[in-house]
């Protein structure tokens, strides 16, 4: 599961937060305040879908799931668990 | 042809449509609620009656800070019916910026989303909001209402104002649209009914709308693209389908919306279309209803446009061009399929029938075909000027050959076989997601940060659009983090203005006259710093 967190962090730092020090990005940093704009959100959706081969529903990229890293990680975990059961 | 009568006042269009199509659907809201022409006109008449009872009339400004809804459209027509003008502000923008807009043009009444009442009052500080503030509920309940606000429910108790109760003129102010200002403060562009009607009537001729058309309304009402959606659709008895702001930024939801609502006429900035091509899963979306795709506001990268035209082969495509001050003033039909080898952007085309265009060099001399210069536009769509900015009027408008010309600030080249080709800008205005951004407005916001001593914003063109880079110097060794800077900007600027990058320097480069050396910064940005 730490693997998910690490990959999400890397994606944010390399695509959305260039010039930022790694330690400043916390798990509860609000992403919807200037970091994850509309283009950033679709890039994140696309990254998650290709990285973990899951589908993110049109309505799922909301404040709860995409608001912080703490929201994103369990969201992806739930998706993966659901996929395994099927 | 019915429906293509030339208009003098935007309210006339809807009243004519009520006579012809009372029971056709006029608007469908994001939530699926809809109004027929009769219902829309009646609700607008109720709003007009309420505003008249508050002594609001010709020339008065009425603010609207609401999400897209059928009520917001009825409010706009209600404002027209009593000859006032609407001033739409982005309900998702920081309240401080919206308060500045409302205060600058001195609105006499305001329709406000009930969730924004408290924050706006806080932003106003000790200053007064207008006497009439109507709090419009977001979700049906009115839990957040403030006592001094009029409730939307109370407005609905009014008897409707009879049609044509007031003497309308074509020169009535219709709306003021605020765009980013080079002084760092938003500036209001004043548009009259005749300005808007010139454009709407041209759309009638060019796009031949029919009552069976279903128009999308993607642009927010504070964005000039909304003028086509709102008034062309309702003039022709077509239905207008409002897209909520958050849905409008989500390419998959937009693609599904087009399929579900069977949209026939689409109009937006290219950015959402480009996002749909890349992330919208368009190959699995049924867009067979779409007959017209119109785009404006910025350059559409050809690789994405080619993909779109390959996926949606049936529609006719138009590139429309024009600043808020003139509305659309040139148009180019895009021939499809787009050749594989084409990489250069499409021209902005030839002037619309109501416009005249000329290209002048810096000294005011006409530039010959093929040469580059500034594009000037004259004609009935050219706005009345800026709200309360005589010095800006003086620099952007001029009389020549007994016509009043607007200097677009856009550098173009005319090629007889292609029309006008957009070349770029010589000032500090850039376009992102179709919005105009004055880099000075970003700098002004950054200077509000107490730790920053020097700031400079520059724009860099990248294949997927414009990126905004800011160079900042801090007063202390301890610098704010990029996350803190982004959050700080989110409190002061609309989301499309938030810089992509913050680059900290000890001090910014200066020219020999001690001004910030933007050229050096631009060069350093191209080198990847």
- Is B143's pLDDT higher than 80? no
| Second CATH level (architecture) for the domain B350-425 | Roll (2.30)
Contact A58 B490 (CB under 8 A): no
Q: What are the percentages of helix, strand and coil residues in chain A, rounded to 5?
A: 65, 0, 35
Quick check: A47 contacting B, CB < 8 Å? Answer: no
Cβ neighbourhood burial of A1 (10 Å; 0-12, 13-18, 19+): exposed
**Band of residue B5 on the pLDDT scale cut at 50, 70, 90:** low
Contact B486 A34 (CB under 8 A): yes
- Is B326's pLDDT higher than 60? yes
Please tell me which residue of chain A has the smallest CA distance to B493: A34
Contact A30 B487 (CB under 8 A): yes
- Cα atoms in the Cβ-side hemisphere of radius 13 Å centred on B505: 17
Contact A18 B501 (CB under 8 A): yes
Name the token pair of B229: 């959606």
Task: Kindly list the domain boundaries of chain B, sorted by start residue.
Answer: 16-192, 350-425, 429-526
Nearest CB to B487; choose among A25, A33, A59: A33
C-beta neighbour count of A60 within 10 angstroms: 14
Contact A59 B275 (CB under 8 A): no
Nearest CB to A35; choose among B256, B483, B496: B483
Residues of A in contact with B500 (CB under 8 A): 18
Mutate to test the interface with A, among B298, B482, B505 (most CBs of A within 10 A): B482
Q: How far apart are CA B24 and CA B296, in angstroms?
A: 29
Cα maximum dimension of chain A: 41
Q: How far apart are CA B211 and CA B234, in angstroms?
A: 9
Nearest CB to A29; choose among B483, B495, B502: B483
Phi-psi region of B151 (alpha: psi -120 to 50; beta: other; left: phi over 0): beta
Q: How far apart are CA B171 and CA B164, in angstroms?
A: 16
Quick check: A27 contacting B, CB < 8 Å? Answer: no
Which residue has better confidence, B164 or A62? A62
Phi-psi region of B378 (alpha: psi -120 to 50; beta: other; left: phi over 0): beta
Q: How far apart are CA B179 and CA B211, in angstroms?
A: 33
* Among B509, B400, B519, B402, residue whose Cα is nearest residue B454: B509
**Band of residue B42 on the pLDDT scale cut at 50, 70, 90:** very high
C-alpha distances out from residue B175 to B79, B244, B521, Å: 10, 21, 39
Q: How far apart are CA B176 and CA B77, in angstroms?
A: 15
Q: Can you tell me the mean pLDDT for B216-230?
A: 97
- Is B89's pLDDT higher than 90? yes
- Is B1's pLDDT higher than 60? no
State the pLDDT at residue B3.
43
DSSP at A25:
-
Residues of A in contact with B445 (CB under 8 A): none
Nearest CB to B250; choose among A24, A30, A58: A58
C-beta neighbour count of B368 within 10 angstroms: 9
State the pLDDT at residue A30.
96
Query: Which phi and psi angles does B367 have, rounded to 5°?
Result: -95, 135
Q: How many structural domains are present in chain A?
A: 1
The number of helices, as runs of H, and strands, as runs of E, in chain B is: 17, 27
Quick check: A42 contacting B, CB < 8 Å? Answer: yes
**Band of residue B528 on the pLDDT scale cut at 50, 70, 90:** low
Contact A58 B256 (CB under 8 A): yes
State the pLDDT at residue B2.
43
Please tell me which residue of chain B has the smallest CA distance to A57: B252
Tell me which residue has tokens 């502000």. Answer: B89
The number of helices, as runs of H, and strands, as runs of E, in chain A is: 4, 0
Quick check: A35 contacting B, CB < 8 Å? Answer: yes
What is the domain range of residue A49? 2-85
When computed from its CA atoms, the radius of gyration of chain A, rounded to whole angstroms, is 12
State the pLDDT at residue B23.
98
Q: How far apart are CA B212 and CA B3, in angstroms?
A: 13
State the pLDDT at residue A58.
79
- Is B191's pLDDT higher than 60? yes
Q: What angle do CA A18, B303, B250 make, to 5 degrees?
A: 60
Which residue has better confidence, B194 or B144? B194
Contact B483 A46 (CB under 8 A): no
Q: Is the dihedral of CA A59, A60, A65, A69 positive or negative?
A: negative
Residue A78 belongs to a domain with what CATH number? 1.10.1200.10
Residues of B in contact with A42 (CB under 8 A): 250-251, 275, 278-279
Q: How far apart are CA B469 and CA B503, in angstroms?
A: 7
**ipTM field:** 0.93
Which residue has better confidence, B206 or B166? B206
Query: Which residues lie closer than 8 Å to A22 by C-beta, 6 or more apart?
Result: A9, A13
For B425-460, the DSSP string reads ESSSEEEETTEEEEHHHHHHHHHTSTTEEEEEEEEE
Contact A42 B279 (CB under 8 A): yes
| pLDDT-above-90 percentage for chain B | 87
Which residue has better confidence, B477 or B392? B392
Residues of B in contact with A19 (CB under 8 A): 482, 501-504
Q: For domain B429-526, give the CATH number.
A: 3.30.300.30
**Band of residue B476 on the pLDDT scale cut at 50, 70, 90:** confident
Cβ neighbourhood burial of B378 (10 Å; 0-12, 13-18, 19+): buried
pTM of the entire predicted model: 0.92
Residues of B in contact with A59 (CB under 8 A): 253
Q: How far apart are CA B486 and CA B28, in angstroms?
A: 36
**Band of residue B139 on the pLDDT scale cut at 50, 70, 90:** low
Q: What's the gap between Cα B281 and its chain centre?
A: 27
Give A85→chain B minimum CA distance, Å.
26
Q: What's the gap between Cα B431 and its chain centre?
A: 12
Lowest-confidence region among B110-124, B199-213, B223-237: B110-124
Nearest CB to A58; choose among B252, B278, B495: B252
Please tell me which residue of chain B has the smallest CA distance to A12: B483
Mutate to test the interface with B, among A35, A38, A66, A69 (most CBs of B within 10 A): A38
Contact B250 A41 (CB under 8 A): yes
Mean residue pLDDT of chain B comes to 93
Contact A58 B253 (CB under 8 A): yes
Q: What angle do CA B59, B60, B65 make, to 5 degrees?
A: 130
Q: How far apart are CA B94 and CA B490, in angstroms?
A: 7
State the pLDDT at residue B462.
85
DSSP at B368:
P
* Among B134, B93, B126, residue whose Cα is nearest residue B110: B134
Please tell me which residue of chain B has the smallest CA distance to A46: B279
Q: B16-192 belongs to which CATH class?
A: alpha beta
Give the pLDDT confidence of B420-465 residue by residue, as tens digits.
999 999 899 999 988 999 999 999 999 999 999 999 999 998 877 8
State the pLDDT at residue B402.
95
């Amino acid at each position: 599961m730490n693997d998910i967190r690490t990959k999400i962090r890397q994606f944010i730092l390399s695509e959305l937060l260039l010039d930022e020090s790694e330690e400043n990005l916390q798990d509860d940093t609000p992403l919807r305040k200037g970091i994850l704009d509309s283009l950033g959100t679709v890039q994140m959706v696309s990254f998650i879908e290709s990285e973990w081969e899951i589908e993110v529903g049109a309505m799922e990229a909301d404040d709860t799931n995409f608001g912080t890293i703490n929201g994103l990680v369990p969201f992806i975990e739930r998706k993966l668990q659901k996929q395994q059961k099927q | 042809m019915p429906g293509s009568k030339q208009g003098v006042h935007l309210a006339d269009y809807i009243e004519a449509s009520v006579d012809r199509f009372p029971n056709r659907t006029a608007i469908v809201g994001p939530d699926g609620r809809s109004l027929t022409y009769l219902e829309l006109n009646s609700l607008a008449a109720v709003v007009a009656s309420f505003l008249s009872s508050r002594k609001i009339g010709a020339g008065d400004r009425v603010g609207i800070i609401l999400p897209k809804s059928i009520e917001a459209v009825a409010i706009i027509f209600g404002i027209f019916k009593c000859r006032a003008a609407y001033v739409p502000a982005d309900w998702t923008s920081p309240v401080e910026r919206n308060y500045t807009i409302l205060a600058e043009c001195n609105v006499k009444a305001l329709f406000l989303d009930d969730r924004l009442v408290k924050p706006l009052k806080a932003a106003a500080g000790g200053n007064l909001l207008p006497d009439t503030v109507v709090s419009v509920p977001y979700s049906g309940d009115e839990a957040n209402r403030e006592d001094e606000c009029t409730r939307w429910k109370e407005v609905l108790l009014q008897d409707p104002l009879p049609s044509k109760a007031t003497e309308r003129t074509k020169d009535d102010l219709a709306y003021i649209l605020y765009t980013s200002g080079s002084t760092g403060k938003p500036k209001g562009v004043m548009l009259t009914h005749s300005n808007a009607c010139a454009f709407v009537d041209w759309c009638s001729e060019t796009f031949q709308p029919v009552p069976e058309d279903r128009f999308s309304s993607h642009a927010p009402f504070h964005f000039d693209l909304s003028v086509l959606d709102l008034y062309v659709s309702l003039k022709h008895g077509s239905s207008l389908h409002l897209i909520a702001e958050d849905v409008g930024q989500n390419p998959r939801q937009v693609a599904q919306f087009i399929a579900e609502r069977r949209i026939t006429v689409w109009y937006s900035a290219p950015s959402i279309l480009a996002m749909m091509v890349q992330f919208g899963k368009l190959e699995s979306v049924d867009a067979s209803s779409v007959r017209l795709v119109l785009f404006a506001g910025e350059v559409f990268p050809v690789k994405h446009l080619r993909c779109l035209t390959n996926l949606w082969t049936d529609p006719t495509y138009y590139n429309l061009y024009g600043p808020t001050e003139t509305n659309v003033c040139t148009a180019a039909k895009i021939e499809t399929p787009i050749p594989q080898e084409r990489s250069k952007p499409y021209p902005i085309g030839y002037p619309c029938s109501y416009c005249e265009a000329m290209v002048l060099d810096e000294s005011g001399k006409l530039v010959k075909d093929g040469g580059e210069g500034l594009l000037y536009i004259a004609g009935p769509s050219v706005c009345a000027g800026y709200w309360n900015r005589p010095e800006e009027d003086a620099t952007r408008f001029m009389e020549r050959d007994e016509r009043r010309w607007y200097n677009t600030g856009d550098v173009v080249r005319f090629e007889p076989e292609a029309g006008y080709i957009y070349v770029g800008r010589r000032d500090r205005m850039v376009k992102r997601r179709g919005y105009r951004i004055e880099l000075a407005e970003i700098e002004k916001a950054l200077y509000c940060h107490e730790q920053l001593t020097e700031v400079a914003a520059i724009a860099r063109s990248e294949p997927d659009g414009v990126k905004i880079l800011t160079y900042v110097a801090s007063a202390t060794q301890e610098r704010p983090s990029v996350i803190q800077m982004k959050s700080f900007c989110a409190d002061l600027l609309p989301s499309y203005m938030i810089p992509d990058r913050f680059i900290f320097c000890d001090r910014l480069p200066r020219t020999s006259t001690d001004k910030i050396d933007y050229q050096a910064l631009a060069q350093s940005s191209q080198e990847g710093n």
